[in-house]
């Protein structure tokens, strides 16, 4: 399969992710509709998606080494690694094959760093996966990949196991239920009209529309170099069905906002000629550490 067919397949996969994500996260529709009705964008298809994010379990046959094969196949390139000691996570980001495609941020739980009991619970589910499921996918079939990203990888968890994991790792509890559901998409704000093109201004617009923001470390997370500013909503609660028909309100997905400043050595370029490559790229561990908490009960329970 040639690169142009691969990019069409990538479009199918990305569209499938966004479609289901919009259904699960009502804030997405609220924000997109408010942007259109305020004439911030003429059409919600014109919104630039800075990046999307996924969470994984670091166990054999799963984790980043499995998940990344999907997007490497479509021409994404693996970039920097980040380590989150307190949260027991590793993460990497991937740069896209086309300028308009979202970057991808994939994190992985360091399962072997958890207590014996949490490891036992997680592995009782993930041990059902006895070979790398991505290896048996036809990555050139977009519908097949889309279905894979939304299908159960292991049996439906029990409420008791979910609650036990939540005590030690909110991330673990999130993944045991939500698996590869899109964790967030990210609206790029720097190319929006004046009055909306900074995270500070956009946050005000969001709050006027009743959107609740993550306050961990402050509403605006700023990289030490000042070039990457991010904010995020608090995750929406979903009425989740667990094993034995039990139900529980748990964290689903959220929305993020990013402002990437023009790099110092490109400040002489006329604004109309600024492209993605002229702006601060990549991610920032200290920002990410706080953004993860968008799904944590410390934020959703405020």
> Where do contacts with ligand OOG occur on this chain (CB under 6 A)?
53, 55, 105, 107, 183, 230, 256, 283, 287-288, 291-292
Q: Which stretch binds Ni ion (CB under 5 A): 27-35, 50-58, 147-155, 167-175?
A: 50-58
Distance separating alpha carbons of residues 14 and 76, to the nearest angstrom: 13
- Cβ proximity to ligand OOG: between 139 and 182 the closer is 182
Handedness of CA 289, 89, 127, 18 (dihedral sign): positive
Least distance between ligand OOG and beta carbon 122 (Å): 17
Question: Which two structure tokens, joined as six digits, stand for 200?
Answer: 């500070």
For residue 179, the minimal CB distance to ligand OOG (Å) is 13
- Closest CB to ligand OOG among residues 104, 139: 104
Residues 223 and 80 sit within 8 Å (Cβ to Cβ): no
Task: Identify residues 52-81 at the interface with Ni ion (CB under 5 A).
Answer: 53
Question: Given the complex with ligand OOG, which of 55 and 139 has the nearer CB atom?
Answer: 55
Minimum distance of ligand OOG from residue 123's CB (angstroms): 21
- By the rule CB under 5 A, 289 interacts with Ni ion: no
Q: Which does 176 bind (CB under 5 to 8 A by kind): Ni ion, ligand OOG, none?
A: none
Structural element, H or E, at residue 232: strand 228-232
Return the number of the residue (139 or 291) whose C-beta is nearest ligand OOG.
291
Nearest approach, Cβ of 245 to ligand OOG (angstroms)?
29
The answer to whether 86 and 107 are in contact (CB under 8 A) is no
Q: Could you give phi then psi for residue 276, rounded to 5 degrees?
A: -55, -40
Residue 118 contacts which entry, ligand OOG, Ni ion, none (Cβ below 5-8 A, type-dependent): none
> Cα separation of 20 and 50, whole Å?
18
Is-contact 104 54, C-beta < 8 A? yes
Instruction: Render 175-188 in DSSP notation, one character per residue.
Output: HHHHTTS--EEEEE
Residue 53 vs 111, nearer CB to ligand OOG: 53
Scanning residues 181 to 220, which ones bind Ni ion (CB under 5 A)?
Answer: none
Sheet of 89-95, strand order: 77-84, 89-95, 103-109, 49-57, 184-188, 254-260, 228-232, 221-222
Residue 256 makes contact with Ni ion by CB under 5 A: yes
Closest contact distance (angstroms) between CB of 222 and ligand OOG is: 12
Minimum gap (Å) between residue 140 Cβ and ligand OOG: 28
Radius of gyration from C-alpha coordinates of the chain = 19
The contact set with Ni ion (CB under 5 A) reads 53, 256
């Amino acid at each position: 399969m040639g690169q142009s067919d691969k990019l069409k397949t990538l479009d199918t996969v990305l569209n499938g992710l966004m479609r289901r994500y919009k259904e699960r996260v009502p804030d997405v529709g609220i924000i997109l509709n408010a942007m259109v009705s305020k004439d911030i964008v003429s059409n919600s298809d014109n919104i630039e998606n800075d990046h999307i994010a996924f969470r994984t379990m670091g166990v054999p046959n799963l984790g980043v080494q499995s998940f990344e094969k999907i997007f490497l196949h479509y021409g994404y390139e693996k970039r920097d690694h980040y380590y989150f000691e307190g949260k027991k996570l590793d993460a990497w980001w991937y740069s896209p094959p086309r300028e308009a495609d979202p970057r991808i941020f994939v994190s992985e739980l360091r399962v072997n760093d958890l207590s014996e009991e949490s490891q036992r619970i997680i592995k009782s589910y993930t041990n059902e996966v006895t070979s790398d499921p991505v290896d048996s996918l036809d990555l050139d079939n977009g519908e097949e990949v889309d279905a894979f990203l939304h299908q159960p990888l292991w049996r439906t968890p029990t409420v008791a196991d979910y609650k036990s994991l939540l005590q030690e790792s909110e991330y673990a509890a999130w993944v045991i239920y939500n698996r590869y559901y899109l964790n967030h998409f990210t609206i790029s704000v720097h190319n929006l009209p004046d009055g909306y093109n900074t995270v500070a201004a956009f946050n005000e617009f969001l709050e006027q529309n009743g959107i609740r923001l993550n306050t961990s470390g402050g509403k605006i997370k700023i990289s030490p170099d000042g070039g990457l500013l991010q904010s995020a909503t608090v995750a929406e609660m979903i009425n989740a069905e667990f094993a034995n028909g039990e139900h529980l309100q748990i964290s689903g997905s959220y929305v993020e906002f990013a402002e990437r400043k023009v790099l110092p050595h490109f400040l002489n370029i006329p604004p109309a000629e600024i492209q993605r490559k002229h702006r601060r790229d990549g991610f920032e561990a200290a920002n990410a550490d706080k953004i993860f908490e968008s799904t944590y009960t410390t934020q959703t329970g405020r």
